[in-house]
Amino acid sequence: MENKIKEIIVSILEDSGNYNESVEIEASSRLREDLGMDSFNLAELTVHIEEEFDVDIFEDGLVNTVGEIFAKLNKHK
Amino acid sequence: MNDVELIKLEIDHLEMVRNWRNSLYVSASMYSDNEITEEQQQKWFLKIKEDATCKYWVVYFKGISVGLAYLTDINLSFDSCYMGFYLKDSSVSGTSIAAKLEFNLLEYVFTVLKLNKLRCEVFEFNKPVISMHEKFGFRREAFYREHCKKNGKYENVIGLAILSNEWRVIASALGTKIYGKFFLENKNGE
């Protein structure tokens, strides 16, 4: 699941021309500040994750880091 | 599908909106950052309430008030208007709300009001906002040099705009990107 999330993030960033290969995507990575995702990217991310895992990551509050996405998905397992 | 809702600004919203507007977070990206008094806010509301050239809404996301959106200078001779919005603080700006809100405003302007051109102005230093408008198809049309004085410094402003026919070309693809299958289901169900 974690690799799938990273794949989704990379594909969104690549699509929008914001992907920086030198930035490692880790659980502690902050979606906006470290990975450079904007509101549009976050909307796309929500859609992709919902399609893949049937979970709305923003349903019950904010998500700031990649690790918080993992935690939300683990909670719904 | 739509978790962003626009509710017409009413008198009961005024104090909440005034507090947002007076915050450093919001005033930093507005032309004017003078503290707005309760009386000024009331007078402003009475003026805009009767003004057919503007529309103001409180933005709700999943039922919670998160910001203000507005259309101004609605000009039925030119079929154009200006768009603006702000979210109340960084806790809601770090989400997908701004993108969904912008999508909704564009749809409203071109589908409901059937205008031809939507314009907006953004400080040159506010690069993330300019970039997001460009993702929604806005193009840069103007560069206003030293247009506004902020914190004792003159700031440049970028004027952006999008036309109705440009929006129609990209609206479905953008809707699908930010709403996914729910957008398609909604479109097909029309």
pLDDT above 90 covers what percent of chain A?
44
The reply to whether residue B93 touches residue A47, judged by beta carbons under 8 angstroms, is no
pLDDT above 70 covers what percent of chain A?
99
Number of CB pairs, chain A paired with chain B, less than 8 A apart = 51
Confidence at residue B27, expressed as pLDDT on a 0 to 100 scale: 94
The residues facing B70 across adjacent strands are B56, B84
Question: Which position has the higher pLDDT, B61 or B183?
Answer: B61
3-state class (DSSP) for residue A37: coil
**Band of residue A63 on the pLDDT scale cut at 50, 70, 90:** confident
**Band of residue B189 on the pLDDT scale cut at 50, 70, 90:** low
Question: Which position has the higher pLDDT, A18 or A3?
Answer: A3
User: Which of B62, B88, B103, B177 to substitute to test the interface with A, most A CBs within 10 Å?
Assistant: B177
Report the gap between the CA of B166 and the closest CA in chain A (Å): 19
Residues of chain A found within 8 Å of residue B97, distances taken between Cβ atoms: 39
pTM of the model: 0.89
How far is the CA of B36 from the CAs of B9, B41, B65, B83, in angstroms? 17, 7, 20, 21
Residues of chain A found within 8 Å of residue B177, distances taken between Cβ atoms: 40, 43-44, 47
Distance between CA A55 and CA B103 in Å, rounded?
22
For residue range B87-110, list pLDDT tens digits in order. Answer: 999 888 777 899 999 999 999 999
Question: Which position has the higher pLDDT, A64 or B123?
Answer: B123
Confidence at residue B25, expressed as pLDDT on a 0 to 100 scale: 92
Confidence at residue B76, expressed as pLDDT on a 0 to 100 scale: 96
Confidence at residue B182, expressed as pLDDT on a 0 to 100 scale: 66
- What does the DSSP assignment read for chain B? ---EEEEE--GGGHHHHHHHHHSHHHHTTSS--SPPPHHHHHHHHHHHHT-TT-EEEEEEETTEEEEEEEEEEEETTTTEEEEEEEESSHHHHTSSHHHHHHHHHHHIIIIIS--SEEEEEEETT-HHHHHHHHHTT-EEEEEEEEEEEETTEEEEEEEEEEEHHHHHHHHHHHHHHHHTHHHHHHHHT-
Angle, CA B140 vertex, CA B134 and CA B141 arms, to 5°: 150
Is A52 near chain B, with CB under 8 Å?
A: no
Q: Which of B62, B93, B178 sits opposite A43 (nearest CB)?
A: B178
Confidence at residue B91, expressed as pLDDT on a 0 to 100 scale: 80
Confidence at residue A18, expressed as pLDDT on a 0 to 100 scale: 77
DSSP β-ladder status, B117-123 and B153-163: antiparallel
Q: Which of B98, B180, B181 sits opposite A39 (nearest CB)?
A: B98
Under 8 Å between Cβ of B156 and B142: no
